[in-house]
Amino acid sequence: MITPQRQHGAVILVMVFILLGAISLLILYVVNSGIIGGRVIANEYQTQQAFEAVAAGIDYGVVYLQQNNSSILVDSDSDGFIDANSFTQTLNNNSTFTVSFTNPVANDFNLIRITATGTSTDGNASKQMTELVKFTSYAVYLAPSPLVVRGEVEVKGSAVVRNLTSPTTIWSGDNISFQGSGHTESNDGSGSSASYTHTDVIPNSSALSNLSDDAFFSNFFGATKSEIKSMATTYYQNDGSRGYNSELNGKEGELIWIDQTSGDASITSNTQIGTAANPVILVVDGNFKMSGTPVIYGIVFVTGTFSTSIIGNVQVFGSVITNGSMSLSGSAEVVHNEAVFNKVQSSLGEFAIVPGSWKDY
């Protein structure tokens, strides 16, 4: 016969085992929860790394495209789509992003899709983003004419204004005069000189003379002076006459802005600015003088007066636009070059994000 005392001892022993089991289960639950929580935190951290990497990649891609568009926008097999082009960068925390470029519309190389993939440091998390950017030229509305002047134009010495592509050589909001052997040459084989004025020159155009200074500028660039100046890749500022031979020699494929608040900006040697393959846009906010044998490929815009010396052989291949008066002398040449003109419009500009085109996966 079992005594009551022994029954009480057995019950207590069972209860102890139950409590030990419950405590063990609770410990296992807590440990497991800690492990799961650690994994969740680690996953969130890795996901955040991937997101930060892909965000850096998409932003970097826009800048990279802006700086390297001539090498990226290449369609070597002429199928209407740019060649495969991608690169990978490693960030300071060892996460990475890969960026690639495509054009979603055949033969449209102004609308580009940038795709970025960000990967965490351990490689377990990744994130992808896409964004469309559209190219807008700095020289949206430039007239295909070698010389556009809001003020008076003088062509003297043996200077020549030549346009063998279209019929207009000089378009002016004031008088156009010729002296000496100064003349124009147009695409129909004729031209204007001191003895005869042909239809290739357009003097006293109210379409130019009625414009304000700001309207004259934005009429050709499609933006304000401050907006275009903010996009300049090279900028100079001087409040006294200054020569820019060494600063500008060899510059190519960029927008150059000179703030000449007084005096004259000048080029006085055999400086070459731009090339046929990589022309420039040169904006002089002030007066501009050229002498010697400099050569410019691209668009020259002068807000003040523009003059060339009676000595030397100044050459501009592209177009000259000035808000003030224009005096060409010596053996100066302003020649409309269709290839240069088209290159300026197609390569000198800015890629801007298309609103609403951003997507992430």
The pTM score is: 0.75
DSSP E strands: which ranges in 179-254? Answer: 183-185, 201-202, 234-238, 242-243
Distance (Å, rounded) from C-alpha 119 to C-alpha 223?
Answer: 40
Distance (Å, rounded) from C-alpha 229 to C-alpha 282?
Answer: 11
User: What contacts 210, CB < 8 A, 6 or more positions away?
Assistant: 173
266 forms beta bridges with: 243, 289
Distance (Å, rounded) from C-alpha 164 to C-alpha 186?
Answer: 5
Helices (H), 222-310: 225-230, 245-248
User: What contacts 98, CB < 8 A, 6 or more positions away?
Assistant: 57, 86, 87, 88, 89, 116, 117, 119
pLDDT tens track, the chain, 361 positions: 445 555 566 767 667 667 766 666 666 665 555 555 555 555 788 888 889 999 999 999 999 998 888 789 899 999 999 998 899 999 999 999 999 999 999 999 999 999 999 999 988 899 999 999 998 888 777 776 899 999 999 999 999 999 988 899 999 999 999 999 999 999 888 899 999 999 999 999 999 999 999 999 998 888 899 989 988 989 999 989 999 999 999 999 999 999 999 999 999 888 999 999 999 999 999 999 999 999 999 999 999 999 987 777 899 999 999 999 999 999 999 999 888 888 888 878 888 899 988 888 7
